[in-house]
Structure 1
C-alpha cells in the first residue's frame, strides 16, 4: 500500500485527513505534517524526514501550494528519498481517490488518477433558471 504524507501550512493537513476519513474511513500508513508559524526549516525538514522513513515503499507527499515551504522542503528531500512522489494542490477529491485506490493501482496509474480527481474536483456550479439542466450530480 502506498504511504501518504499530507504537509501544509497551518492546520489544514490534519483537517483534510479528518474530512477524507469521514467519507472513506480511518486511514493507515498515512501521516500529516503542519508547518506552523515560527517553525524553522530544519524542524520541518526533520519532521518530514521522520515521517517518510516511517512509511515503507512509495510515498505520495501532498502539499497545499507549489513553491511554498512544505513543497520546497519536500523537493529538497527528493534526492535522498527517491521513493517519494510530490503532488501539490491537495484537496478532498484527490485524497479520496488516493485512499480508495492506493492498495489496488500501480504507482503511475495511481498518480494519474489522483491528479485527475484533484482537477475534476474543482467545479463551478451555475444555476440554470430554465430547469433544463442535463447535468446530474
Structure 2
C-alpha cells in the first residue's frame, strides 16, 4: 500500500483527511502534518521526518500531497527527497485527488496511482454559471 502524507499551511491537511474518510472510510498509513503559524522550520521538518521514517520502516512507497508549489511544506519535502528515494510529491491537494488516492493506493503501484490521481484532480475542476446550468437542465429533460 502507498503511504500518504498530507502537508498544508494551517489545519487544512487534517480537515481533508477527515472529509475524505467520511466518504471512503478510516485510513491507515495516512498522516497530516500542518505547518502552523509561528512554528519553527526545524520543528516542522522534524515532524515530517518522523512520519516519513515510520513509513519507510514499513517498507512503503510514500506519496506526499501538499497545498502549493513553493510553500514551506513543498520546499521542506523537496529537500528531504534525497533521503527518501520512494517519495513523490504532488501539489494542489484536493478532495477528489485524495479520494482517488485512498481508493486506489492498495491496488496500484505508486507510478500508476500518480497518473490516475493527476487525471482525477484535473477532471474534478469545472466551472458552472446560470447559462451552463440552464443548458444542463434542458439536456437532462430531453432524456
| Structure (1/2) with the larger helix percentage | 2
Give 1:52's aligned residue. Answer: 52
Cα distance change of structure 1 residues 132 and 67 upon mapping to structure 2, 3 Å threshold: same
Give 1:124's aligned residue. Answer: 127
> In the TM superposition, what is the alpha-carbon distance from 1:99 to its structure 2 partner?
0.3
C-alpha separation in 2, matches of 1:117 and 1:44: 29
- 1:33-44 matches, within 5 Å, as 33-44=33-44
Q: TM-score, normalised by structure 1?
A: 0.93
Unaligned stretches of 5+ residues in structure 2: none
Give 1:106's aligned residue. Answer: 109
Unaligned stretches of 5+ residues in structure 1: none
C-alpha separation in 2, matches of 1:63 and 1:77: 14
Give 2:24's aligned residue. Answer: 24
| Structure 1 residue 82 corresponds to structure 2 residue 85 | yes
Deviations 1:47-88, CA, capped at 9 Å, x for gaps: 000001111320100000111000000000001111111000
| Structure (1/2) with the larger strand percentage | 1
> In the TM superposition, what is the alpha-carbon distance from 1:130 to its structure 2 partner?
7.9
Q: TM-score, normalised by structure 2?
A: 0.89
C-alpha separation in 2, matches of 1:80 and 1:130: 50
Deviations 1:24-57, CA, capped at 9 Å, x for gaps: 0000010000100111111111100000111132
| Structure 1 residue 93 corresponds to structure 2 residue 93 | no
